[in-house]
Amino acid sequence: MRKAVGVLVLTMFALWEASAARAAIAAQPKAIAQAEAKLATTSRALDGLDAFIESVMKDWKVPGLSLAVIQNGQVIWLKGYGYRDLERKTPVTPHTLFPIGSISKSFTVTAMGILVDEGKLDWDKPVREFLPEFKLYDPIASERITPRDLVTHRTGIPRHDMVWYSSDFSRAELVRRLRYLEPSKDIRTTYQYNNLMFMTAGYMVGRLSGASWEEFVRQRIFTPLGMSDSNFSVNDSEKARDSAMPYQNAKGEVKSIPIHNIDSIGPAGAINSSADDMSRYVIFQLGKGSYGAKQLLSANNAAEMQSPQMVEQSSDRYREILLPTYGLGLGVTTYRGHKLVSHGGAIDGFTAELALAPMDDLGVAVLTNLNSDKNPVPVIVAYNVLDRLLGLEPVGWNARFLEDERKSLASEEEAKKKGFTLQKPGTHASHDLGDYVGEYENPGYGVLRIERDGDNLKLSLNLLSSPLRHFHYDVFETPENPLNPVEKTKVQFFMDVKGEIASLSMPLEPHVKDIVFARRAPKAMSERSFLEPFVGQYEVGGATATVTIQGENTLVMVIPGQPKYALVPVRGTTFDLKELAGYSIEFKLDATGRVNEAVFYQPGATFVAKKR
C-alpha cells in the first residue's frame, strides 16, 4: 500500500510538473510583453535626460560628469558627459576615474560589517577593546565610544578637519592627536560630521584584519564586485589612462587646480571610482549585501547601514526631503514619500552623489569634476532621475539652487558696497614684524610657522601656506583666495607678561574656542653645542647655582637646599624654569661672546649672578 501511495504521489507530481511547464511556455509571450512594456516605460521616463544634464552642467560650469542608473538589479543608464580634461577636451567615459569623497565612508562601514559578521568586531563594545591606544580629550568618552559611535557622527567632537587637511600625518599619528582635540558636545547627544572618526574606524579595520584598510577593502569589496577601475589614492589615478582632472569655479571662472592627496584620511574619503564600478556597488547596496550569488555582507548588517542611527539637524526647508537621519556611513531620509539612502562626496575639485531608493529597487551614482561650493549638479541630476523613474512630476531643483546662488552673491556684494567690516582702521601692530616670526605649536594641529615676506608676513601650517597681512592691532589676516583653504582667516597674536609674543590663535574649528599655538623655541636652543657655553657655576646672593646638561640635551640648574630645575628654552639665551611659573633665567655674553653672567627673573625681583 505504501508503494502504491508513493507511485500515486510521483504520478501526481509528474502531472503537476508537466502542467506547470505548459503554463510557463504559454506565459512566455506575456512575460516578454510585460518586460518589453516595462522597458519602454523606463525609456520614455528617461527621454530628454541627456539634454537636461547638459543644460544643468552649462548652468553651473561643470566640466565633466559620469552617470550610472540602476533599476531592478540592472544597469539601465551608464554614460559620460563633457570633459575629464577641459584643456585637452578629453571626454568623460563610464570608466573615467573620479574621487568619490565621503561616499568612501560606506565602504569603510561595509568592511567593518564584514568583520562584525566574522566575530572580530562588535558595533557596541568600546573602541579601546579593539584599538587600545584610542584616547580622546574627554577621558569618559575615551572609555565609552564604540565603533557604532565612530561611524554615526555622534562622538561629541566637531570636524577639526584642518588637522588632516593641512598635513601628511600618518593614520597612527592622527589617532594619537585625537586626545588633544576639544569636543563641543557630550557623546551621543548631537550629530556632528567628523572625518577623523571614520579614519579611526578604517585604521581599526586594518589593525583587526592584519593588513591595511586599503587591502581589506580591495580583497573583500572591490574584487568580488569586479570594481577593477577603482583605487585608493589620487597618486594612482594620475597614472591611470582615464582619469578626471580637478576644477574649481573661482568667481565664475573655471580653473584647473592641483590634486590634493588625502591618503592619510583614506577611510573617510580617498576612494577613486568610475560610474561603471559604482553601478556594481549600487547593485550590492540594493541587494542587501549580496552580489550575484555571493552574500558579501550579512543582510542584517546591510540593513543596519540603511537604518536610522542618529538624528540630523534640519530646517525642513524642502517638503520633498524630511526628517534626515544618519545610518552607518549612509544618510537615511525620505524623498517625496519614498525612502532615500544617500551620501555626498566632495574633495578639492570633485563632487559626487550616491542616491538609493531601496524600497523601489532604484539607485543613482553621479560623479563630477568641479568643487562642491559651486556645484549642486550631482544632487540635481540624482533627484531628477528619481523623479522620472518614480513616476513623479519633476521638481525644479536646478531653478531653486540657481536662485539661492543668485541671492547669496547679491547679499555678499551688498555687504561689500556698504563697507561692512569688523576691521578697526588706523591701528598698528604692537611689535615690529620680526618679533612675530617663529614657530608655534599645538599638540593636535601641529606646527605653524610665521616668516617674513617682504613688508608682510607668511603663514605655514604644516603643508599649507599663505601670505599674512596686518588687519588691526595684533590681528593679521590671510588674503582672499578661493583656491586657498585658509583664505580670509584671522590670526591673533598674544604677549606674555614680559611683553614678548608668546602665542597665537586661529579659528580653525568654529564649534570650539580658537585653536591656540604656543611659541616654541628654535631647534638650535636644544643642541648641545648651543647649551655648553651656559654650563658652570653662578654666584647669586651668597648661594651658588650650578648649571649642567643632563639626559638628551636638557639644561638643569641646582641650588643647594632646593629641588633641581629643568631650564626650558624660550628664545635667544633665555630659559624658563619648568617647575616655577613666572621664573626665568637669561644668560649674558660679554664683548668676546663668552657667558659672564646670568640674570634671574622672578615675580617682584630680579638678580644678577656672576659666572665663576
pLDDT in tens, 245-271: 999 998 889 999 999 999 999 999 999
pLDDT of amino acid 2:
39
Q: Give yes or no for residue 346 having a pLDDT over 90.
A: yes
Q: Give yes or no for residue 11 having a pLDDT over 50.
A: no
Range in 209-218, 332-341, 375-384, 578-587 with the lowest mean pLDDT: 578-587
Domain segments of the chain: what residues?
Answer: 49-246+253-412, 433-520, 525-611
Query: Which residue stretches of 510-586 are H helix?
Result: 528-531
Range in 17-26, 28-37, 59-68 with the lowest mean pLDDT: 17-26
pLDDT, tens digit (0-9, with 9 covering 90-100), for 498-549: 899 999 999 999 999 999 999 999 888 989 999 999 999 999 888 999 999 9
Query: Which residue stretches of 46-161 are H helix?
Result: 49-60, 104-117, 139-144, 147-150
pLDDT of amino acid 310:
98
Percent of the chain with pLDDT over 70: 93
Question: Which band of pLDDT confidence, cut at 50, 70 and 90, is reported for residue 317?
Answer: confident
CATH fold group of domain 49-246+253-412: Beta-lactamase (3.40.710)
DSSP string over 187-255: TTTS----HHHHHHHHHHHHHHHTS-HHHHHIIIIIHHHT--S-BS-HHHHHHSSSBPPPEEEETTEEE
**N residues, the chain:** 612
Q: Give yes or no for residue 430 having a pLDDT over 50.
A: yes
Range in 8-17, 324-333, 536-545 with the lowest mean pLDDT: 8-17
Cα–Cα distance, 307 to 323 (Å, whole number)? 13
pLDDT, tens digit (0-9, with 9 covering 90-100), for 72-82: 999 999 999 99
Q: Are 576 and 584 in contact (CB under 8 A)?
A: yes
Mean pLDDT of 25-42: 58
**Is it true that 433-520 and 525-611 share their CATH fold?**
yes
Q: Are 342 and 353 in contact (CB under 8 A)?
A: yes
Buried b or exposed e, range 81-120, using 16+ CB within 10 angstroms: bbbbbbeeebebbbbbbbbbbbbbbbbbbbbbbbbbbeee
pLDDT of amino acid 43:
72
CATH fold group of domain 525-611: Lipocalin (2.40.128)
From 2.40.128.50, 2.60.120.10, 3.90.1150.10, 3.40.350.10, which CATH number describes the 433-520 domain?
A: 2.40.128.50
Give the strand pairing for 475-477 and 338-347.
unpaired
Distance from CA of residue 202 to its chain's centroid?
A: 13
Q: Taking each helix axis from N to C terminus, what angle separates 195-209 and 104-117, rounded to the nearest 10 degrees?
A: 40
- Output the CA angle 201-376-225, nearest 5 degrees: 45
- Output the CA angle 162-166-172, nearest 5 degrees: 85
Q: Give yes or no for residue 347 having a pLDDT over 80.
A: yes
Q: Give yes or no for residue 275 having a pLDDT over 90.
A: yes
Q: Give yes or no for residue 27 having a pLDDT over 80.
A: no
Cα–Cα distance, 72 to 258 (Å, whole number)? 39
pLDDT of amino acid 482:
82
Q: Give yes or no for residue 30 having a pLDDT over 70.
A: no
pLDDT of amino acid 34:
54
pLDDT, tens digit (0-9, with 9 covering 90-100), for 431-472: 999 999 999 999 999 999 999 999 999 999 999 999 999 999
Cα–Cα distance, 473 to 13 (Å, whole number)? 94
Mean pLDDT of 8-20: 42
What one-character DSSP code corresponds to residue 455?
T
pLDDT of amino acid 15:
40
Q: Give yes or no for residue 22 having a pLDDT over 70.
A: no
Mean pLDDT of all residues belonging to the chain: 92
Give phi and psi for 220, each to the nearest 5: -100, -15
Mean pLDDT of 301-313: 97
Cα–Cα distance, 28 to 36 (Å, whole number)? 12
Q: Give yes or no for residue 205 having a pLDDT over 80.
A: yes
pLDDT of amino acid 12:
40
Q: Give yes or no for residue 202 having a pLDDT over 50.
A: yes
pLDDT of amino acid 4:
40
- DSSP β-bridge partners for residue 389: none
Q: Give yes or no for residue 332 having a pLDDT over 90.
A: yes
Mean pLDDT of 122-151: 98
Mean pLDDT of 394-408: 95
Cα–Cα distance, 175 to 169 (Å, whole number)? 10
| Helix/strand number for the chain, H first, E second | 17, 31
Gap between the terminal Cα atoms of the chain? 122
Mean pLDDT of 135-142: 97
pLDDT of amino acid 14:
41
pLDDT of amino acid 315:
80
Range in 12-21, 417-426, 443-452, 579-588 with the lowest mean pLDDT: 12-21
3-state class percentages of the chain: helix first, strand second, coil last, to nearest 5? 35, 30, 35
pTM (2 decimals)? 0.89
